Amino acid sequence: MSVFARFKRTPEGFRALIELWESTPMERRKRMIEIGMAEDPVFAQRALEYVMTFNDVMKLPDVELAELMATAPPRVTAVALHGVDEAVQQRFIRNSKPTVGAEIRDYLNAKVGPREIGGAQLKLVEKTRELERRGLVLTKKIPLMRG
């Protein structure tokens, strides 16, 4: 049986594959994508077009970013923003409610490791994808599709 078989059975399977890749740490995700490319490069490439990364989250339009900031925990947001350009950090804070923005600023001063940062960034991608499912984020909207 192929690796992609379960993802090709239903239109929701395409979304499930994309969301699996989005929630998987980068090193493991790369291996999964390599295996998928070897099996069915067309299907894998089509799925990759819709995979959302933290870079995509940072580039969300202000309206969509404000939706994310209304639902994302301030600590997770702050940890995800560690090491990111200050202008981007300020944009996230600006699109938050004032109390949330203040919390994010406080958490930005905390010491965190790269693993924690990566985990927080994955959580923000998952939260953004949740908002996309509800129609509140249109960036990288996943179509229903069969393999």
**Number of domains making up the chain:** 2
15 lies in the same domain as 69: no
Question: Does residue 68 fall inside a structural domain?
Answer: yes
Are the C-beta atoms of residues 146 and 40 closer than 8 Å to each other? Answer: no
Enclosing domain of residue 32: 5-48
Question: Does residue 13 fall inside a structural domain?
Answer: yes
84 lies in the same domain as 41: no
SS3 77: helix
**Statement: the pTM of the whole predicted model exceeds 0.85:** yes
Segment holding 65, helix H or strand E: helix 62-71
96 lies in the same domain as 127: yes
- Residue 1 is predicted with a pLDDT of 55
79 lies in the same domain as 105: yes
100 lies in the same domain as 71: yes
Please give the average pLDDT of every successive group of 10 residues along the chain, which has 147 residues: 82 92 91 93 94 96 97 97 95 97 94 94 96 93 76
